[in-house]
Structures are given as C-alpha cells and as structure tokens.
Amino acid sequence: MKNIPTVNPRPTAQRGVAAVELALVMTTVLLLLYGVVSFGAVLYAQQVVSRAAEDGARAISGVNDPTQATNIALIKSVVYASMATSLIAPANAGNTTAQRQVWLKSNPKVIVNVGASGLVTVSYPYGDNPIVALPDAWVPQNIFGSAKFSL
C-alpha cells in the first residue's frame, strides 16, 4: 500500500477569504441595486408629472374656453387628481387619494399652469419630497412636465 499524502482542504493561509470576497461583492451589488432603485424612483416621478400634464391637456378638450377661471380650476383639479393616484406625494400626505390630492393642492411648490394656447405645465418639488433618499447633488430639485392640447 502506497502512502498517499493527505491534503489539507483548507490551508490556514486561505481561511476567511470567502467571507472577505462575499463582503466586497455584496457591497458592490447592494450599491448598484440602490442606484438602480433611486434612478427608477426619479424616472417614476418624472412620468407621473408628465402624465398629469397630459391628463390636463386632455381635460382642455372638454371645455369651451380654457381661459375661464372655472375651467382653469377644473383642469387643475384633473391634474391634481392624476398626481394623487400615484405614490409621488410623501407618506405624511395621507393614505388615500383624497388626502394626497388635498396635500398637492395645498403645497405652494406644486405649480400647475394652464395657458390660453392649450399648454398645461406642471412643476413638482422632487428635491423636497424624494421617493428614495439620495444626496442633494444627485436629486433634481424640480421635475417639470408639459403637454399641449391641439386639434
């Protein structure tokens, strides 16, 4: 019978290497995942604001004169209702669509303008109410959306 040398499956110089590799890889993966989620949240907010402007432009088609005060109020309420159905308002604004709509209407930084030419513009202060916390340098302070009704 030959003497087969025994091989130590875990040499003492290699102990803990897997844990260090896992820590380095997981840190990188988690940072990458956080970046993707953060970018997705900003993109989501941009889409909500753009959709709200488009809904306001569609509401213009249902009124005779978009420059009348009552019609402007109606168009603005359509825009606020569109934004309230999303998750763009902060958590302290409320859980229901009606509560979020009240918060959006009462926030002076949420600006909705209806132009005589059928242009609806919406400005939302994303920097004050980010969906995902990011450093201030990476977050857009305001998100804009606009849409125009044309025949």
Domain ranges of the chain: 17-148
The answer to whether residue 9 scores a pLDDT higher than 70 is no
- 151 vs 131: CA distance, rounded Å: 36
Q: How many CA atoms lie within 13 A of 46 on its CB side?
A: 9
Average pLDDT, the chain: 86
pLDDT at 138: 75
pLDDT tens digits, 50-61: 999 999 999 888
Provide the pLDDT for residue 88: 87
Name the residue among 99, 100, 79, 77 with its Cα closest to residue 89: 100
Residues 149 and 60: beta-carbon distance below 8 Å: yes
Helix (H) or strand (E) holding 121: strand 119-124
* pLDDT for 146 beyond 80: yes
Strand partners, 148: 119
pLDDT in tens, 107-144: 889 999 988 788 999 999 988 888 887 777 777 889 99
At residue 150 the predicted structure's pLDDT band, cuts being 50, 70 and 90, is: confident
**Number of residues that make up the chain:** 151
Question: Would the pLDDT of 7 be above 70?
Answer: no
Distance separating alpha carbons of residues 64 and 71, to the nearest angstrom: 8
pTM comes to 0.79
Residue 151 has pLDDT above 70, yes or no: no
Q: Give the C-alpha distances (Å, rounded to integers) separating 24 from 19, 36, 37, 73.
A: 9, 19, 20, 55
The per-residue pLDDT for range 43-85, each reduced to its tens digit, is: 999 999 999 999 999 988 888 777 788 888 899 999 999 999 9
